[in-house]
Chains A and B, each alone.
Chain A
Amino acid sequence: MSEAFSAQKYLRDIKPPFCAGCGAYTVTNVFLRAVHELGHEDLKKFVFCSGIGCSAWIPSPHFIADSVHTLHGRSLPVATGIKLVRPEANIVVFGGDGDIVGIGMSHFIHAARRNLDVLVIMVNNMVYGMTGGQVAPTTPLNSKTTTTPYGSFEHPLDAAKLAVTAGANYVARWTTINTNELKETLKKALKLRGFRFIEVVSQCPTAFGRRAGFKDAGEMLKWFKQNQIPLGEAERMSEEQLSGKIIVGEFATRKRTTLVETAYAIIKEAQAKVEKD
């Protein structure tokens, strides 16, 4: 941390595509701060992977780094191929809730099960923002969206809980108001191995907030502040009390063997066997 933080150092000189008030700015900023504080002068040690949606545009093409902007939902399979071939690469996947746990749900579960060595940052704006604000698997019950004009009639998904169940080595959730916690969590996760999942509940004032009854991004941040419950506290609350709340904190930190470790152990074993024969 020899010099002061400057996000510009890591970014191409391309106008960001995000709307005013979008949480993607916060996520970009906090991620780059974490990278800076870990002492990375550039992003050369990283490979970024993303799918389709607003959040997928955080790294691509903005980060001065290798980035693979893949198909909708398929960032994790592509990351699997890259990581297995280049185990030394530090792979970070950015994606929205629709990308990671909507269309990409199966890959998400399996990547966590395999304990694939990647950090997934899921920016959960609770909506399909890029396509204009349709209901997502994460949209709170009763929320109005363009495809749920009478309010969503489906229960939302708890992606962090799912990641824990599926076997991720590290799971945390914060909102865009918890920038310091998020930064520290990112720093921690970037140094760990295996599947690391950080969910950032984020505001989309344009495609979600205005239909869900928030007059601007600030109102949404206030809503996060009033509704977030630390994990420890949440554990003492009933399901009813937790309805509509955002549980934040670290959900899991463990040391299961990772996909790179197990896959390369097999190569070693197979090669030793060939030599013996």
Chain B
Amino acid sequence: MKKSTVNTYFWSGNEACAEAAITAGCRFFAGYPITPSSEIAEHLAKRLPQIGGIAIQMEDELASIGAIVGASWAGVKAFTATSGPGFSLMQEGIGYAFMTETPIVIVDAQRAGPSTGQATKCGQGDVMQARWGTHGDYSAIALSPNSVQEMFTLTIKAFNLAEKYRTPVVLLADEIVAHMREQVSVPPAESIEIINRRKPEADDKAFFGLEEVPPMPAVGEGYNVVVTGSTHDEYGIRVTADPIPHRKLVERLNSKIQNHADELTDSETYHIDECEVGIVSYGCTSRSIYEVVESAEKKGIKTGYIRLRTLWPFPDKIIKELAETANVIIVPEMNLKQIFYEVERAACGEARIVPLNKIGGGEMITPEELFSKIMEASRK
């Protein structure tokens, strides 16, 4: 890669994601083959050893997420890539990473589920799994790319957030953005913001508390760090029954994300302060909105949209703003109303929320279908 210039590539989403991981400083990948994410593993199997990194295919997704947790504690940035069925298996590891404050990135290129479903076809059915998939009280960070360019930029962002907050971050992609090819602009390396975990000072001992995001040592550095998925005190020592340390730990783990919801949420908006009809959209489905807004405006219907780049934490504030302006909000999704209810909740009754759902065969919601829904909704 040449330095100090913007380079352009014609990459698939999966290639862009793999290259972005390298740019973000990732040096360890562990995964298990699954459509439609396998190209990430294939690309990294070639690229990581070239720069001294490790790419290993594990025996299953339980092992894949275990290995990246280990690698992260050994001091490197690590990630895995999967799809719905594998994402289900990784949930125990995601909970462990959350509890132990292990920065890792999980890419889920969604396909049509439940179960094996339609393995090669696009879906958006893992939205709620990304939020609530593991057990216990936790808070998730999940990003939603809608282009190959964003497979690059949001992968880097996912690593940055994981390192900054010491928590697992999910890049909730889908089959369409993973497999399609588009032009990607890669800015010069020195202009890309890269965040690394905060390392402890020599006499630091509290790696699991005292601060909102504590410093993180690596094993093998002589800190005698005790890592456990059991409830633990600030020093990592297991506390199996006392209610106070549990409250303190789990509340901090959640609040370190929830308190920064404004900073974490990110969306693209258009005319949300002057529209009759609003659209809340994300991922591949949002690729239809640009054309539709033009068509609707030609018909004299003021239309605005919020295109979510962050799904979790959910951007309540901006949805409320849109609801206060628009009479009706349409929520197109390639699932059966997963974000719809979130929009309804955040809108606080200020607007009528209308679902538009399509699943199966990887068929996207076309601009025509969305346009018809706008026409229909605006008449009521």
Contacts and interface: CB of A to CB of B under 8 A. Distances in A.
Contacts of A273: 50
A84 B71 contact: yes
Contacts of B229: 69-71
A68 B220 contact: no
Contact of A77 (B49, B67, B221, B223): B67
Contact of B71 (A14, A64, A82, A263): A82
Contact of B66 (A14, A44, A64, A71): A71
B73 A80 contact: no
A68 B237 contact: no
A80 B237 contact: no
Given A47-B219, A69-B230, A107-B59, A85 B50 contact: no
A271 B52 contact: yes
A70 B96 contact: yes
Interface string B216-227: 001111111111
Contact of A84 (B56, B64, B73): B56
A71 B61 CA distance: 14
Nearest to A66: B219
Interface string B92-107: 1100100000000000
Interface residues of A, number: 41
A85 B54 contact: yes
A47 B238 contact: no
A82 B219 contact: yes
A81 B219 contact: no
Contact of B227 (A64, A68, A85): A68
A201 B142 CA distance: 46
A3 interface: no
B76 A85 contact: yes
A70 B220 CA distance: 17
- Of B60, B71, B75, B225, most buried by chain A (CB within 10 Å of CB) is B71
A61 B62 CA distance: 24
Contacts, number: 147
A88 B70 CA distance: 15
B226 A67 contact: yes
Contacts of B219: 47, 66, 68, 82, 86, 89
Contact of A81 (B70, B96, B227): B70
A106 interface: yes
A20 interface: no
A192 interface: no
- Of B27, B56, B74, most buried by chain A (CB within 10 Å of CB) is B74
Given A65-B224, A68-B219, A270-B49, A85 B63 contact: no
Contacts of B148: none
A269 B236 CA distance: 40
B72 A81 contact: yes
Interface in B41-68: 46, 49-54, 56, 58-60, 62-68
B74 A271 contact: no
A4 interface: no
Interface of B: 27-28, 30, 46, 49-54, 56, 58-60, 62-76, 78, 92-93, 96, 218-230, 236-238
9 contacts: A68-B73, A71-B229, A74-B96, A78-B66, A86-B218, A86-B219, A106-B60, A110-B59, A271-B51
Interface of A: 12, 14, 44, 47, 49, 60-61, 64-71, 73-74, 76-86, 88-89, 106-107, 110, 263, 266-267, 269-271, 273-274
Given A47-B219, A81-B70, 12 more contacts: A65-B224, A67-B226, A69-B238, A71-B66, A79-B70, A82-B73, A82-B219, A89-B74, A106-B59, A107-B66, A266-B49, A273-B50
